[in-house]
Amino acid sequence: MIKTHTLGYPRIGLQRELKFALERHWRGEIDAGALETVGAGLRARHWAEQADAGLDFVTVGDFAFYDHVANHIQLFGCEPARFGFGDGDTALARYFTLARGVAHEHAHGVCCGAAAGGAAALEMTKWFDTNYHYLVPEFDASTRFTLASSRLLGEVAQARSLGHRVKVALIGPLSFLWLGKEKSADIDRLDLLEDLLTPYCALLAQLKQAGADWVQLDEPILGLDLPGAWILAFERAYRTLGTAPLPLLLATYFSPLEENLSMACKLPVAGLHVDAVRAGHELQSIADWLPGTKVLSVGIVDGRNIWRADLDAALARLQPLAARRRGELWLAPSCSLLHVPLRLREDAAIDPELRGWLAGAREKLDELKVLRRALADGEGSVSLELREARAALDARRSSERVRRPAVAARVAALGPGADRRASPYPVRAAAQQARFKLPPYPTTTIGSFPQTAQIRAARAAFKRGELAAADYEAAMRREIAAAVREQEALGLDVLVHGEAERNDMVEYFGEQLDGFAFSADGWVQSYGSRCVKPPVLFGDVARPAAMTVAWSTHAQSLTARPMKGMLTGPVTILQWSFVRDDQPRSTTALQIALAIRDEAVDLEAAGIGIIQVDEPALREGLPLRRAAWPAYLDWATRAFRVAASGVRDDTQLHTHMCYAEFNDILPQIAALDADVITIETSRSDMELLRGFGAYAYPNAIGPGVYDIHSPRVPSARDILRLMHKAADVIPARQLWVNPDCGLKTRGWAETRVALANMVEAARLLRAAA
C-alpha cells in the first residue's frame, strides 16, 4: 500500500496574505476575529490543495500566526512567567507579546538571526540550518506543562468539517525541549521531560477523539550530535507516547541519523519518516532495520530546494523498497515545505523555459502523485508526466544558460595560489599603513546607512517604472553624497558610500550576475510576518559588467579620505539563495568567488584602496553534524579567499560577520587572512573577543561597540568601556572602532549621535595611548 503526505505546507499564502493581515492586526486596523478569518481561509485553501494533489491526509498543526514553535509554547502552557500575563490578556494577544515583546520599538535583527534587545520578546534563532527563525522556549525551575490551548483541536475540527482525513503534525517532546533554553542555572531541561509527557499524552487522546487519523511527531534533533542522555531519553519518552490511542509517525529530517538510526527504527511508534535527500545513503539500512509492520515514509522530493525532481532517479530508488516492504510505504517531501515557495511553475517574473525546471510546494505534491501512480500502477500509467519531467530535466542539463564552459574552465584552472594574497599579513599591513596613514584605533562603519523612506520610495517608483533609470541613479548619487558629507563631518577615518542603491545585499549582486533568476511570488517565511524571496541560482555564474565601481568611485570622488568598497562574499550569496543541485555547492561557491574577485580587482584599478567582502552567513552554513564541518569550512573559506586575494598588498581587505559563536572556528576565521575583520560583539559585552585573544588572532579586528538593533544611543563612555575590555585581550595596535553591523534599519538622528560618540571615544583612546 502506497500513500502520500507532506510534513508541512507553506502558511504565508501566495500573495503573502497572512503577512498583510498580521501587520494590519498589529497596527490595530483589523481585530482578532478578522485575523482568525484570514488564518482559517488560508488553512482551508492549503488543505484543499493537498487534497487536490491526492494526498491521503491533510496536515494540521503546521499553521501558525507567527511561528509553530511558539504555538507549542502556548499549547503546553509554558509561557514564561516574566511576561506577567493576567487573566485579561487573550491567548492571541499573549502570543504576539511572546513574539514581539511588550514595547516593540524595533523589529528583530533579521540579518543576524538573533533577537533584538530592549523589548522582552522571546529570543529568535534559526531553525536548524534553514533561514526560518523560531521563537526560543524558555525553561526555568518554575516551568510546568499543561495542556493549555484548544487552538490545535479547533484546527482539527475545521479540517474534519471540510471533509479531510487528518494527520496532525507536532514537534516531538525531545526536540521541543532541545530547542528551548534554560533560563536558570539550577535546571537541566531534559529533567522536564516527564512533566512534559503528561500533556502530550492527554493531547494525543484528545486528537484521537477529534478525529485525527495519525499524529506526526517531528524529532529533527535525531540528526544532530546528541549527548548520550538525550539519546537514552528517546526510548523512555516514546515508550510512554507509544501507548497513545492513535498511530504515531516519528519524523526526522535535514541530516542523517547515523548512530541514532537503529534506535529510531526500534522506537514503539507506527512509522518513521526519513529524509532521503539529505540522508539517502541511509535509506537501505533503514529499510533493513525498520520492522516490516511499520510504515516507512520516504522523503523523496527535496523540501529544501526548488528544482523539479528527477522522477526516474526517484523511482529507481523507490521500486526496490516498494517490492520488498510488507508494511505501508509513504512518499513525502524530505521535510516540511515551509522552506520553499508555494508555486513557481507559473511565476510571472521567471521566463517559461526556466520556470519549467522549478517546483514549488504545490508542484512538489504533484510529483508525489506521479511517483505513487508509477509505483502502484506501473510507469505506463503516468508515461506522459514522466516524459514531461524528463524533458525538463534534459533541457536544464543541456541548456547554454546553465553551462558556460569558460566559467567551468576558469574554476578548474584555479591554481593552489589562487586563494593567497601575494605577501603575508605583516608585509601587507606595512604597505597599507604607508599608504593610508591611519591613526591608532581607526574608525569605520559596516557599510549601510539608514535606508530612509525617501530612498525606499525612490526605489519603489523606479521598480514601478514611474521613475526613469537616470533619475533613480541621480537620486541615489545624491544619497551617497549626503552620506559622505555626514561621515566627513563626524570625522570617521574610513568612509563607506552607504549602500543606498541596494535593496538587499544578496539580491543586489544576484540581479547583476548571470546565472541568477528572481521570482515574482517566490516568498519564503523568515520569521513572523517577514518573508524573503531568495534568488534562484540556476547556472554558471558570470559577471557581465562591473557591479559597484560607479557608485564607489562616485563616493571616493567626494572625499580625500579612503572610501571602502562594499561587496557580498561568495558563501553568503550561496547561503541565501536557492542553489543548483547539479554540481557541488563548493563549485558554485568558487564561481561566485571569481565574480566577486573580478569586482574587487576592478574596484582596486578604479582607485578604491579598501574593500570589504561581507560574509555574515559563513558560520550559519556549518553542517548540522560536526563530522561534516571540516569539509565545509575547507571549501567555504577557500571560496572567500579566492574572492579576496586578487588585490595588491597595499589594498586593505576587510570582512564582516554578524553575531555568531566564533570560538569553535577561530583557526578558519584566521585562515581567511582578511586584513581587518569587523564582528558583532557588543551584546556579548566583548566576551566574544576573548577567544580571538586566546587564539592570538594575528590580523586587525574591529569589535562592534554598539548594538545596531537597538534604538538606544551609546555614550562615548559606554564605548570607551567596551574598547578597554577589548584592549585587555587584543593588542591595541590591532583594534578598530566600529558599530556591530550595518545601520540601514536605523534613523539618521540616532546614527549621527551614536557615531559622534564613537569618534569621540576613539579620540580619547588615542589621547591616552
> Considering beta carbons, is residue 500 or 686 the nearer one to ligand GLN?
500
Q: Which listed option, Zn ion, ligand GLN, none, makes contact with residue 442 (CB within 5 to 8 Å by class)?
A: none
* Cα–Cα distance for residue pair 477/498, rounded to 1 Å: 11
Contact of 414 with 642, CB cutoff 8 Å: yes
Q: Which listed option, ligand GLN, Zn ion, none, makes contact with residue 174 (CB within 5 to 8 Å by class)?
A: none
Indicate the residue type of 505.
Answer: M
Order across the sheet with 514-517: list the strands.
Answer: 514-517, 536-542, 578-579
Residue 78 in marked binding region? no
| R_g of the chain, CA atoms, integer Å | 27
Please give the residue whose beta carbon sits closest to ligand GLN in the complex.
742
Q: Which of residues 650-689 bind Zn ion (CB under 5 A)?
A: 658
Q: Is 11 helix (H, G, I), strand (E, B) or coil?
A: coil
Q: Which of residues 628-657 bind ligand GLN (CB under 6 A)?
A: 656
* Cα–Cα distance for residue pair 657/688, rounded to 1 Å: 12
Q: Cβ of residue 128: shortest distance to ligand GLN, in angstroms?
A: 20
* Cα–Cα distance for residue pair 556/596, rounded to 1 Å: 20
Residue 620 in marked binding region? yes
Tell me the C-alpha to C-alpha distance, in Å, between residue 559 and each of 38, 144, 479, 483: 53, 61, 15, 11
Q: Residues 74, 448, 526, 710: which binds ligand GLN (CB under 6 A)?
A: 448
Contact window for ligand GLN (CB under 6 A) among 267-275, 352-360, 379-387, 741-749: 741-749
How many Cβ atoms are within 10 Å of 160's Cβ, its own excluded?
A: 16
108 is catalytic: no
Contact window for ligand GLN (CB under 6 A) among 250-258, 352-360, 440-448, 727-735: 440-448
Q: Which long-range contacts (CB under 8 A, 24 or more apart) does 37-45 make?
A: 39/63, 39/65, 40/158, 41/17, 42/11, 42/13, 42/17, 42/18, 43/155, 43/158, 43/159, 44/158, 44/162, 45/13
Size of the site for Zn ion (CB under 5 A): 3
| DSSP one-letter code for 225 | -
Q: Is 188 helix (H, G, I), strand (E, B) or coil?
A: coil
Contact window for Zn ion (CB under 5 A) among 135-143, 397-405, 490-498, 612-620: 612-620
Residue 580 in marked binding region? no
> Considering beta carbons, is residue 271 or 703 the nearer one to ligand GLN?
703
Residue 16 in marked binding region? yes
* Cα–Cα distance for residue pair 35/75, rounded to 1 Å: 19
Q: Residues 392, 402, 411, 658: which binds ligand GLN (CB under 6 A)?
A: 658
Q: Which listed option, Zn ion, ligand GLN, none, makes contact with residue 131 (CB within 5 to 8 Å by class)?
A: none
Q: Which listed option, ligand GLN, Zn ion, none, makes contact with residue 547 (CB within 5 to 8 Å by class)?
A: none
> Considering beta carbons, is residue 59 or 738 the nearer one to Zn ion?
738
Residue 741 in marked binding region? yes
> Considering beta carbons, is residue 321 or 741 the nearer one to Zn ion?
741
Contact of 127 with 133, CB cutoff 8 Å: yes
Contact window for ligand GLN (CB under 6 A) among 88-96, 140-148, 390-398, 445-453: 445-453
Q: Which of residues 489-508 bind ligand GLN (CB under 6 A)?
A: 499, 505
Decide if residue 741 touches Zn ion (CB under 5 A).
yes
Q: Is 284 helix (H, G, I), strand (E, B) or coil?
A: helix
Residue 448 in marked binding region? yes
Q: Residues 446, 531, 674, 761: which binds ligand GLN (CB under 6 A)?
A: 446
Q: Residues 80, 113, 333, 742: which binds ligand GLN (CB under 6 A)?
A: 742
Q: Residues 241, 744, 755, 765: which binds ligand GLN (CB under 6 A)?
A: 744
Mapping DSSP onto H, E and C, the string for 423-484 reads CCHHHHHHHHHHHHCCCCCCECCCCECCCCHHHHHHHHHHHCCCCCHHHHHHHHHHHHHHHH
Tell me the C-alpha to C-alpha distance, in Å, between residue 220 and each of 45, 141, 223, 234, 305: 27, 26, 6, 12, 18
Residue 288 in marked binding region? no
Site string for ligand GLN, 102-131 (x = CB under 6 A): ---------x--------------------
Q: Residues 61, 117, 447, 450: which binds ligand GLN (CB under 6 A)?
A: 447
Q: Cβ of residue 135: shortest distance to ligand GLN, in angstroms?
A: 21
Q: Cβ of residue 80: shortest distance to ligand GLN, in angstroms?
A: 29
> Considering beta carbons, is residue 334 or 682 the nearer one to Zn ion?
682
Residue 181 in marked binding region? no
Contact of 700 with 735, CB cutoff 8 Å: yes
**Angle between helices 549-557 and 585-605 in degrees, nearest 10:** 30
Give DSSP secondary structure letters for 90-143: -HHHHHHHHHH-SS--S--BGGGTB--SSS-PPPEEE-TTSS-EEEPPEE-TT-
Contact of 126 with 14, CB cutoff 8 Å: no
Half-sphere exposure of 149 (CA within 13 A, CB side): 20
> Considering beta carbons, is residue 89 or 511 the nearer one to ligand GLN?
511
CB neighbour list of residue 465: distance below 8 Å, 6 or more residues apart = none
Contact window for ligand GLN (CB under 6 A) among 200-208, 248-256, 275-283, 443-451: 443-451
Q: Which of residues 548-607 bind ligand GLN (CB under 6 A)?
A: 566
* Cα–Cα distance for residue pair 31/148, rounded to 1 Å: 23
Q: Which of residues 610-629 bind ligand GLN (CB under 6 A)?
A: 614, 616
Q: Which listed option, Zn ion, ligand GLN, none, makes contact with residue 566 (CB within 5 to 8 Å by class)?
A: ligand GLN
Which positions make up the binding site for Zn(2+)? 656, 658, 680, 741
Which positions make up the binding site for 5-methyltetrahydropteroyltri-L-glutamate? 16-19, 126, 530-531, 576, 620
Residues of this chain that interact with ligand GLN (CB under 6 A) are 111, 446-448, 499, 505, 566, 614, 616, 656, 658, 741-742, 744
Q: Which residues are catalytic?
A: 709
Which positions make up the binding site? 16-19, 126, 446-448, 499, 530-531, 576, 614, 620, 656, 658, 680, 741
Which positions make up the binding site for L-methionine? 446-448, 499, 614
